[in-house]
Amino acid sequence: MSAQHQYQMSETEEALALGTGPLPAGPYYRDDYFALECEAIFKRTWLNIGHGCELPEPGSFIVRQFDFANASILITRDNDGNLGAFHNVCTHRGTQLTQEACGKRASFTCPYHGWTFNSNGDLRGAPDLERFYVEKKELGLNRVSVAVCAGLIFVNLDPSPRQSLREYLGVLGEQLETQPVASATTYSEYVYEIDGNWKITYDNFQENYHLRFIHARSGGGGAVGPENQFGYPEKYGFHGEHRTQKIWTNPAPQLSATQKLAFGKLVPALMQRGMMNAAHARDYYALFPNFFLIGTPTQHFTHYVMPISARKSRGVIRIYWVGDDMNASERFGREFSMAMARDVHAEDRAVIEAGQRGLNSGALKHIHLQSQEVLLRHLMHHVDAKVKAYQAELAAGGAQQ
């Protein structure tokens, strides 16, 4: 491997503070640590759950499950075009308003007693409402926070978040706005459940050390090469709780005939749409806690890992596209791009589960990370800092219940 691909430890204060010692293994499988993560992180952090193209017009809605909080969240676009996010819970006696995953409707009527809510969350009316001992205006749906960056919808279960989404993303927010996802109109999607802790699952996608072993065939020869046999990134970046990589690509990849054909069919349409000259096309964004986006125009994917329990998670992978299929060639290229990415991720899922099974035994007390796994260390550093801060809040009696 040439010297230019040797990772040089960042001299930022944040990176130097990460240290080099082994990490405790317990936080990757213990129920008590997971319970703290849910309170300290997932119930009060901006989480990507979708894209604005899913709610194209007033009345559009989607529903997302947040298993870690036993919550079902309804995201709507109201008559003014604004997004709203609410607990999918009737404010009468708690019945879930809708069982649908998505759709379009001007109002939501509870099946239990007929309470009806507008898409902006206000209670429109309820049968025999005058017999209640509460004002109608106080009975709107319970809000959570929602905001958009680069077309991506983020929800924060805290109705009064400590930071706006833009404050939270910092400079990365501006970069994301330059990505194709900002103007995406459709997407390919595949989802998975995994017997894996959310960090174990997420960490797999933060290091390239495994590529040559797990993706020897599916990777297609683009991610590793003679001068960079592990496919290590050209650069790492630390941005508060978030982190980035500048991915390395093999200048002479050994592509199969159909890989050449399919990506060759995608490129003309991408060029016609002005999508091939993205400034951050080789940037790989890891937004705290559980979201990835890669800038590559031909496989412009996002991936989030939503925790279900200490040892179970759900992943959602999307490849975003700008515009409907222009022609058969673009349709073919898009189908191939998704199928190839899915092949790679199917291999990841299998090996992640094997790793989780090993950790669950308690055989390892610590996990050793090499310098090229520094992003894993960065994630764990910030997770643990959040958990400790939350514990301090509890000790001070100031934690929100």
Partner 1 sequence: MNATERLLPADFAALAPFVEFWAADTAAARAHCRDISDEAGRAAFYNAAVDLVPQALAWLDARPLNGWDESEQRLMKLVLSFAHVALAVELHREEEPQHARNRPYMRITRAPADCER
In this structure, are residues 51 and 320 in contact, taking their beta carbons and an 8 Å threshold? yes
- Near partner 1 by CB under 8 A: residue from 122, 349, 360, 384: 349
Q: Among residues 188 and 206, whose Cβ is nearest to partner 1?
A: 188
d(Cα 61, Cα 296) in Å, to the nearest integer? 29
Q: Provide the β-strand partners of residue 238.
A: 243
Please give the structure tokens belonging to residue 296.
């590559």
Q: Counting contacts by CB under 8 A, is residue 134 touching partner 1?
A: no
Whether the ω angle into residue 127 lies within 30 degrees of 0, i.e. cis, is no
Q: Among residues 246 and 331, whose Cβ is nearest to partner 1?
A: 331
The least CB distance from residue 100 to partner 1, in Å, is: 15
Long-range contacts of 253-258 (CB under 8 A, 24+ apart): 253/220, 253/221, 253/222, 253/225, 254/220, 254/221, 255/220, 255/221, 255/222, 256/220, 258/336
The 49-88 contact track toward partner 1, x by CB under 8 A, reads ----------------------------------------
In this structure, are residues 293 and 247 in contact, taking their beta carbons and an 8 Å threshold? no
d(Cα 257, Cα 139) in Å, to the nearest integer? 61
- Near partner 1 by CB under 8 A: residue from 86, 192, 263, 291: 192
Q: Counting contacts by CB under 8 A, is residue 335 touching partner 1?
A: yes
d(Cα 9, Cα 350) in Å, to the nearest integer? 31
In this structure, are residues 158 and 43 in contact, taking their beta carbons and an 8 Å threshold? yes
Among positions 148-187, residues that touch partner 1 (CB under 8 A) are 186-187
Where are any strands of DSSP class E within 164-214? 186-194
Q: Among residues 174 and 193, whose Cβ is nearest to partner 1?
A: 193
The 245-274 contact track toward partner 1, x by CB under 8 A, reads -----------xxxx-xx--x---------
Q: Among residues 13 and 57, whose Cβ is nearest to partner 1?
A: 57
The least CB distance from residue 327 to partner 1, in Å, is: 5
In this structure, are residues 149 and 164 in contact, taking their beta carbons and an 8 Å threshold? no
In this structure, are residues 86 and 98 in contact, taking their beta carbons and an 8 Å threshold? no
Q: Counting contacts by CB under 8 A, is residue 338 touching partner 1?
A: yes
The least CB distance from residue 40 to partner 1, in Å, is: 30
Stretch in the footprint of partner 1 (CB under 8 A) among 86-94, 289-297, 325-333, 380-388 = 325-333
Helical (H) or strand (E) element with 49: strand 47-51
The least CB distance from residue 73 to partner 1, in Å, is: 18
- Near partner 1 by CB under 8 A: residue from 343, 360, 384, 393: 343
d(Cα 1, Cα 283) in Å, to the nearest integer? 21
Among positions 11-40, residues that touch partner 1 (CB under 8 A) are none
Among positions 263-322, residues that touch partner 1 (CB under 8 A) are 265, 317, 321
Amino acid at 242: H
3-state secondary structure of 260: helix
Q: Among residues 1 and 326, whose Cβ is nearest to partner 1?
A: 326
In this structure, are residues 37 and 20 in contact, taking their beta carbons and an 8 Å threshold? no
The 350-369 contact track toward partner 1, x by CB under 8 A, reads x-------------------
Point out which residues bind partner 1 (CB under 8 A): 186-194, 217-218, 220, 256-259, 261-262, 265, 317, 321, 324-325, 327-329, 331-332, 334-336, 338-340, 342-343, 345-347, 349-350
